[in-house]
Amino acid sequence: MRFAIIDIETTGGNYQSGKILEIAVVLHDGESILDQWTTLLNPETYIPAGITELTGITQDMVRDAPRFFEIAAHLVKLTEGAIFVAHNVRFDYDFIWHEFHNLGYAFQRRKLCTIQLARRIFPGLGKYGLSALTQYFGLENPDRHRALGDALTTSALFQLILKEAKSQEVIQNLVNQGIEESRLPANLSITDIEQLPETCGVYYMRNQENEVIYVGKSKNIQKRVSSHFTDHTQKTARLLQQVHTIDYEETGSELVSLILESYRIKELKPAINKAQRVARYIYAIISFRDSSGYICFGVKPRKEAEKLLNIQIHAGFGKAGAARARLDACQNEFNLCHALMHGERLSGKPCFAYHLKKCLGACCLEESPSMYNLRANQAILRIQKNLAGSFLLIDVGRQKGEWSVIGIRDGKFVGYAYMEQDFTDSSLWDWENSLSRFPENEEVSLIITNYLAKHALKKLPVTA
């Protein structure tokens, strides 16, 4: 094995908003250091005072330094064929992967985390940060929080680990993401798994007859597929026996991947997707008007609700408790009647919420149906997360300079497309014809509703 031990200094802790200030690569063959390289980088952004205090890197120091794209080709060549090693590898790898992604290049390397490695080789130390391990093993690092100093210290730690008897076995296991090659389907290798993208999308597992037998989605396709072959379940056993090839569609947007997965499972009816072929949202929040004209709410099993007359279904949930929690939140937010929120018949007596001054008196007829229903309709919009109307949801795309665009017409999902980020409102006059269209699917409307309850996406109203 050949290892590229890497450390970076950045303007912040989030790769989506932070930039790389400095990078160092120490090449190692498993016995000794072969080469080392480091450079400051111009982040083309402001360096926070706290970062300067921590690293000593100032704006003046990076002003004439190369930008990432200027060293990208050298970094590719330097790390080619090597395992990407870092202390907390996900941090360094994500920053570098993101920089390459912005350049339109798919940077992929096998990864090894020295924190995970140290935990396996030296259990029970308590703390596994680089400073703690440096002190514990008596290593020297005169240049802490500078890329080369930390990369060389990580190299010294790595060499200590390599001297331990079981290190090679542990390294192989971590590099292979816990997959035992002997347990992979006969036609797949570790290399096939490693060549899958580390991006968001939908993947398809096919049998020898090229039939899709399993459809899945993930924010990291490679990582999710790997996990299938490290489990010890009946599903894993079937995948090991039947999977012949794996292909995928990158979506960029997690919401698009959820939508696409739902449609593909219904369209292809994969044999191993038993759980997803059953409706995910088996409970529903419903509303109806009682004999006095008040809007009432309730939670019903979805199949039962679909058979009822004069009721509306507003949102689906996997568990009844989650549906009731949504109703409770709306009751508190809009000062609604406890009795009406739980489908109880009005007795003319004050409900529990009335005594707490959180109900305005519909239960004891102190508030008219017309006044009460104004707030009840607001609650319905909150439950639906404003899926009513016609609009476009704007989310991340598959590459830099691109948006994913999800179309809603009269509260129903129409389709999605990808557009350049500099599109204008006037370019959307024919927006529906720009979408990859899908047949009406109530489950997808629920997927979008539930996603918007947890994630804020830009919403662009459309009238055409």
Residues marked active site are found at 145
Q: What is the DSSP string of 157-184?
A: HHHHHHTSTTHHHHHHHHHTTT--GGGS
What φ, ψ does residue 295 adopt, rounded to 5°? Answer: -75, 125
CA distances from residue 459 to 51, 316, 392, 405 in whole angstroms, order as listed: 35, 22, 6, 10
With both helix axes pointing from N to C terminus, report the angle between 89-102 and 68-79 in degrees, rounded to the nearest 10.
120
Q: Are strands 33-40 and 20-28 parallel, antiparallel or unpaired?
A: antiparallel
What φ, ψ does residue 111 adopt, rounded to 5°? Answer: -120, 150
User: Rounded to the nearest 5 degrees, what angle is found at the Cα of 91, between the Cα atoms of 20 and 192?
Assistant: 110
Structure tokens at 378: 């607001």
- CA 236, CA 213: separation in Å to the nearest integer? 12
Is residue 95 within 8 A of residue 8, CB to CB? The reply is yes
How far is CA 373 from its chain centroid? Answer: 38
Closest alpha carbon to 259 in 310, 219, 202, 313:
202
DSSP 2: -
Structure tokens at 424: 């204008």
Q: Are strands 3-10 and 83-86 parallel, antiparallel or unpaired?
A: parallel
